Structure 1
Amino acid sequence: MIKWQEDWAYNKYWVMAHSQACYEQIRLLAKDNMWSEQKETEFEHLLAQAASQAPTTKTLTNAYQHVWGYFKKICTPQEKQTYLLLLQKLTPQDDELGPFLSGLTNKYQVTYLLNSRLMQEAQAQS
């Protein structure tokens, strides 16, 4: 994988959790798989812009629902019930869902998520 693709994979869900607008702009930058110095500069700018925005309940919910997609067919019924409960009470100030999903990432060894900034930061919270 090319470095910018690795950087995007690492940051993808983290950006989504901070800013849907930045996520969409980066997704458009990466769309044609043609990368340039100009796109790299814009990518770095959008990462910084996302970092300046605190996650909201809406952006966290969206990002975590995407992450959940990796588990919904392999988790236990109890894990699904816990996910739904934690999703329902999720707020940026009371985020038990991130650490829960990080635990599932480790349990099921989902490589893409193991290398995800959002899951790594959630693991650090727990």
Structure 2
Amino acid sequence: MKKETEILWASEKYSIMAKGYNFYKEIQGKMREAAFEADYKEIMMMIADFSEKPFERRALGNTLEHVWGYFKESADESDKQHFFSLLATLRDSNEKYFNDVPYEIGLFLQFLLQKYPSDYLSRSTFIKN
């Protein structure tokens, strides 16, 4: 149960972070303290519950910047400019919540992942392939 929960958390952590940093920190803390099967079941339920929530604009922007960290060392200047232009558009949006990562940003993240591969990010549900 521990391994399954760790794999699930690794795949969901950025999606949860983009819904609310407090949700991310809550699960992160529970993962550190988990010792019994019941603890891991609770974490899996929390992940399922938080996954149903919409993305919050501010948390989504912060998560995108965090994910950018995987690309920043290898990305060329045009990719950097385009990413931060998309991020600025998101942050200037009047929308407070999003059901999905905005299409253009999601598409660009997929492009970045293909151009600058990351095994860890490729397993994340945040960047849908």
Pick the TM interval, shorter chain: 0.7 to 0.9
How many aligned residue pairs are there? 120
In structure 2, the partner of 1:40 is: 40
* TM-score with structure 1 setting the length: 0.84
Q: Which residue of 1 aligns with 2:127?
A: 119
Q: Aligned letter for 1:19?
A: G
The DSSP-based 3-state class of the residue aligned with 1:117 is: coil
Measured on the aligned residues, the alpha-carbon RMSD in Å equals 2.1
Q: Once the two structures are superposed, what CA deviation does each residue of 1:70-96 show, in whole Å capped at 9, x if it has no partner? A: 011110000000011000001537822
Superposed counterparts of 1:1-126, under 5 Å:
2-31=3-32, 34-90=34-90, 91=93, 92=98, 95=102, 96-120=104-128, 123=129
* Identity score, percent: 29
Segments of 5+ residues of structure 2 without an aligned counterpart are none
Moved over 3 A (4+): 91-94
d(CA) in 2 for partners of 1:78, 1:42: 43
Instruction: Determine the C-alpha separation between the residues in 1 that align with 2:111 and 2:36.
Output: 36
- Normalised by the length of structure 2, the TM-score is 0.82
